[in-house]
Amino acid sequence: MSLSVAGKKAGPIGFGLLGLSRPPAIPYDQAIKVMKAALNHGANLWNGAEFYGTPTENSLHLLNHYFTTYPEDAAKVIITLKGAFTMSMSPPGPQTNTAGIRQSIDNCLAILDDKVFLDVFLPARIDPDVPIEETVTAIVEYIKAGKIGGYGLSECSAQSIRRAHAIHPLSMIEIELSLFATEIFSNDVADVCAELHIPIIAYSPLARGFLAGGIKKAEDLPQDDIRRRFPRFQDGALEANIKLAEKVREVAERTGFTMAQVAIAWVRRQGGRLGTVIPIPGCTTLGRLEDNMRVVEVGEEELKVLDGLSERMRVVGERYPEAFLKYTYV
């Protein structure tokens, strides 16, 4: 299947930049080695955010550094960036009115400094108090001016997709999709994307590490790991979800592939019924990158077993802390 996003050909697996700039950020020169390796493995769709890090060290600054170092790669990638979301409020929240959208896109473009084209801008979340039509109209100003290539939505509802698409065609939807997160199949988001031929960019295909194979007990998560703030990683829920992940490991062991490779292959396979689905696992090391970026084909029998697991799984805990839940599937 030929995959494309924003008019550009995309590889079967993309790359999420979150871990490379989330505090404590790794040195830029170390981070761009991982990014370069990802591109060499065919992962040319990169996904970052204005708020992945601090106001002075985030995905945008990292991308500027990368394309200052490797200007020849600018034409090889599809850059997708989330913004219009502030972490400085309590609780954090979206800024998707016209002023917020303009401020965010202008900031993104200023920091990128023409080093690479911004193919897709996405408001990170939708503000239920701001009409989606206002948000999209503000973004379309930049598309028509040729400053960005297109736009997407993240963690949105089927209704918001339809309303936004009616204003201007969407380039992509970024949504959580994994064996641990299959809500899009029951809330009409997947059906609408298939109907309107909108690519789905699947973040957290490894369920924030549960399906990567490295979390086998609570002690495997450092005490300062940000995931401990998420309900699924807290006492009681963590142990129950590890047991669910072990069922995926059992399937993987029968294939000869790693747990992560099988979990990502399952996400990719959803494109058979939805159209374009590109998982965007993230990582900070070359070893993990090699594992995540290997494209494997899992047999039909194992895929059916995984389908059955995903249907029966009762993952314990919400996907996000309570403060963020009101901005999911808006």
Active-site positions? 52
Residue given tokens 């290997």 in the structure block: 294
- Relative to beta strand 85-86, strand 93-94 is antiparallel
Instruction: Annotate 269-290 with DSSP letters as a single string.
Output: HTHHHHS-EEE--B-SSHHHHH
Helix, strand counts (H, E) of the chain = 13, 12
The encoded tokens of residue 203 equal: 């973040």
Question: Of 201, 230, 302, nearest to 261 (Cα)?
Answer: 302
Contact 120, 148 (CB under 8 A): yes
- Relative to beta strand 15-16, strand 85-86 is unpaired
Q: Which helix (H) or strand (E) holds 328?
A: none
Phi first, then psi: give them for residue 110, nearest 5 degrees.
-65, -45
The encoded tokens of residue 324 equal: 């963020």
Q: 47: helix, coil or strand?
A: strand
Beta bridge partners of 154: 174
Cα→Cα distances 198→156, 180, 314, Å: 13, 22, 29
Report the distance separating Cα 237 and Cα 55, nearest Å. Answer: 33
